[in-house]
Amino acid sequence: MLDGWGPRVLESYLCGAWRKGNGPAKPLHDAATGDLVAEIDSTGLDFAEALAYGRRAGASLRAMTVHERALILKALGLKLMEQKDDFHALSLATGATPKDGWIDIEGGIGTLLNYASKARRELPNARVLTDGVVEPLSRDATFSTQHILTPLRGVAVHINAFNFPIWGMLEKLAPNILAGMPAIVKPASQTAYLTELMVRRIIETGLLPAGTLQLICGGVGDLLDNVTGQDVVTFTGSAATGQRLRAHPAIISESTRFTMEADSLNACILGPDATPESPEFDLFIREVSREMTAKAGQKCTAIRRVIIPRAQAGAVRDALAAKLAEVAVGLPADPATRMGALASLDQRADVRAAIARLSSEAEIVAGDPDVVRVTTGDAEKGAFLNPVLLFANQPMKASAVHDVEAFGPVATLLPYDDLAQVTELAAMGKGSLVSSLFTHAPEVAEEVVLGLAPFHGRVMIGNRDSARTATGHGSPLPMLVHGGPGRAGGGEELGGIRGLNHYMQRTAVQGAPRLLGAVTGRWLDGAPSRSDIHPFRKSLAELRTGDQLVTEAREVTLADIEHFAGFTGDTFYAHMDEDAARANPFFDGRVAHGYLIVSFAAGLFVQPDPGPVLANYGIDNLRFLTPVYPGDTLQVTLTCKEINPRAEGAHGEVRWDCQVRNQKNDLVALYDVLTMVAKTWPA
């Protein structure tokens, strides 16, 4: 237990203050010892006002740019990482071992840092995000459309499960804060004391604008009665509870966005090529054992169904039973413990009831749910349960093994007779967050993965080649989609920058390029431009979108083409052989290299003297549109398209629209040039 942290009634953080409920408090007990940890109650708190407060306060978050929000996440993540020992000390009361706590604590904080980094790398330093390219709606480019993304004007309400009281909160906060939307977090009561500690430490940093984060410890009362179409509700937990929330009258009538991540019957599959003599067999056994016992099996991504070749059923059963028998169950703080307790005694009772239902069509082949063996701790006071493995001989005829989830260290072996049965068995789970396949055969990977994909949010292929670097079946990393269809809830969370879209409205804006540019902060073709001094002589402080350079023209000669071919080694026949080039349906004779055109274009627009342009770091969307023949001339129009100053540092990125045309004014090449430019010059 965290020093100085004694049992007390948890408080909610609403409308900028810590508040207690006024009803009878519910006791919360240490999962491993049964000792009182805290009490919880939210009776009498004004949730309607909390929503209204969050909506009002969201204006300050929306006023920031994406990079400014990202830097807040970075600073917050670094501050919280300094205090991780305090979180780990209290995490032991949830039944989690230090290794389990690492997933929740460092994993959650790491998600903040990952999103902070991705946002600054992948998104502009702007308040408005564009989605897709500009679509011309008229021939003369006087009327166009651009899709934009803007933050909703409501509050994100996050209702989270008990198994990850920190990661479950932070994985949702990172994208909603980046998107510019405030949040109210409602953790599951059983482990809310750990979430409350984390929120206290977040508020103490003073980094978040007022109203960005609120917390409810206890029931939500009439909170959902007051949501609007500008709010977002996310839920993580059981499918049954999620379906009830999704059907709430206010959510339906207001068309409130609802994202659900439900526990699912995830599968791990052994390919027919993975015999006991193969590395994949051993990797498979280790992965199933690890996923059954990490967090005592109380993970939304834990392996519940183990789909195996019937020919290997005996070998898999014996190997898994032996591996699970080695798992030391006991007090989470004991260094010898390999698996701690479930979250509560009630949870253990639920898991035992689920095992009983599974036993109606599967036999227990390892472990005994009614007999608990611990290395340390009290088997009756703590919510301990040894791993249980079942075997269903006829899984194609079974139903419970595909419908009942024992949310603990429990899995069922399901033998298959051919590859077609593999995808059919996996699909009988009615949608899952993740499945994994262990195989070394490309043809097995192709058939099984394509069969699994429509029913899963994520599929991991494991084999000897990736064994040392693979993150594992149960790791929903920030850059990967975390969600799944059907029983898994139908939602998508994380997925890198995709995660922001849940909290933003996509709008098609139509109008003249000049006005669209004013909205998006980008120059559009057809908008006014300015030509004075060379734009490469301007620092970010002086540069404006629309600043333009129209270059002199340069002729491309046959000697240029032959020199480029000899110098680079690119002797493709269309550049070197007149007859072969004419036989090509796209050309009328020998043509210039595409990269010769790009090189000549750079020679036309580059200003060679030292100045504010520090480096060229890339080209985007390069397209060659018209062949260039000997004797053609090239001319470049270079226009400042987007200015993206970094929130930190002395430089920013500038995107330039580059159009290369020939003597007939035909567009030869079109692309974006990306440069780093000093904020001021001399620097």
Catalytic residue among 39, 171, 196, 261: 261
Q: Is the bond preceding residue 209 a cis peptide, omega within 30 degrees? A: no
Q: Which of 553, 680, 678 is nearest to 628 (CA)?
A: 553
d(CA 357, CA 369): 12
d(CA 419, CA 58): 52
Cβ-in-10-Å burial (0-12, 13-18, 19+) of 566 comes to: exposed
d(CA 183, CA 160): 13
Q: Where are the domains of the chain?
A: 12-127+153-245, 266-488, 529-678
d(CA 262, CA 489): 5
The CATH architecture of the domain made up of 12-127+153-245 is 3-Layer(aba) Sandwich (3.40)
Residues of 603-641 as b/e, b for ≥16 C-beta within 10 angstroms?
ebbeeeeebbbeeeeeeeeeebebbbbbebebbbbbbbb
User: In sequence order, what are the residues at sequence separation of 6 or more whose Cβ sits closer than 8 angstroms to the Cβ of residue 300?
Assistant: 161, 163, 236, 261, 262, 263, 264, 433
Tell me, what's the pLDDT at 645?
87
Tokens 């003597």 correspond to 663
Q: Which of 251, 283, 274, 212 is nearest to 61 (CA)?
A: 212
Encoded amino acid at 152, one letter? L
Options 2.40.30.10, 3.40.309.10, 3.40.50.2000, 2.40.10.500; CATH for 266-488 is 3.40.309.10
d(CA 162, CA 94): 9
In tens, the pLDDT along 506-554 reads 999 999 988 988 888 889 888 888 988 999 999 889 999 999 999 999 9
d(CA 551, CA 637): 7
The distance in angstroms from the start CA to the end CA of the chain is: 53
Tell me, what's the pLDDT at 491?
84
Catalytic residue check, 300: yes
- Same CATH topology for 12-127+153-245 and 529-678? no
Q: What percent of the chain has pLDDT over 90?
A: 72
Tell me, what's the pLDDT at 26?
93
d(CA 355, CA 421): 24
Question: Which three-class secondary structure string do you get for 561-604?
Answer: HHHHHHHHCCCCHHHHCHHHHHHCCCCCCCCCCHHHHHHHHHHH
User: In sequence order, what are the residues at sequence separation of 6 or more whose Cβ sits closer than 8 angstroms to the Cβ of residue 106?
Assistant: 81, 84
507 close to 519: Cβ distance less than 8 angstroms: no
> Token pair of 589, please?
């004779």
Largest separation between any pair of C-alpha atoms in the chain: 91
22 close to 43: Cβ distance less than 8 angstroms: yes
Percent of residues in the chain assigned helix, strand, coil, to nearest 5: 35, 25, 40
> Token pair of 157, please?
């309400």
pLDDT along the chain (683 residues), means of 10: 72 94 91 92 93 92 92 95 93 92 91 92 88 86 90 94 88 94 94 95 94 94 93 89 90 92 91 93 94 90 94 94 92 92 91 93 92 91 93 92 92 94 92 93 93 92 90 87 87 86 93 89 87 90 92 94 94 92 91 94 91 91 94 95 84 92 94 92 78
- Partners of 349 in the β-ladder: none
Cα–Cα distance list, 450 to 287, 446, 454, 570 (Å): 22, 6, 8, 38
Mean pLDDT of the chain: 91
Tell me, what's the pLDDT at 321?
93
Tell me, what's the pLDDT at 3?
64
The CATH architecture of the domain made up of 529-678 is Roll (3.10)
Catalytic residue among 217, 300, 640, 658: 300
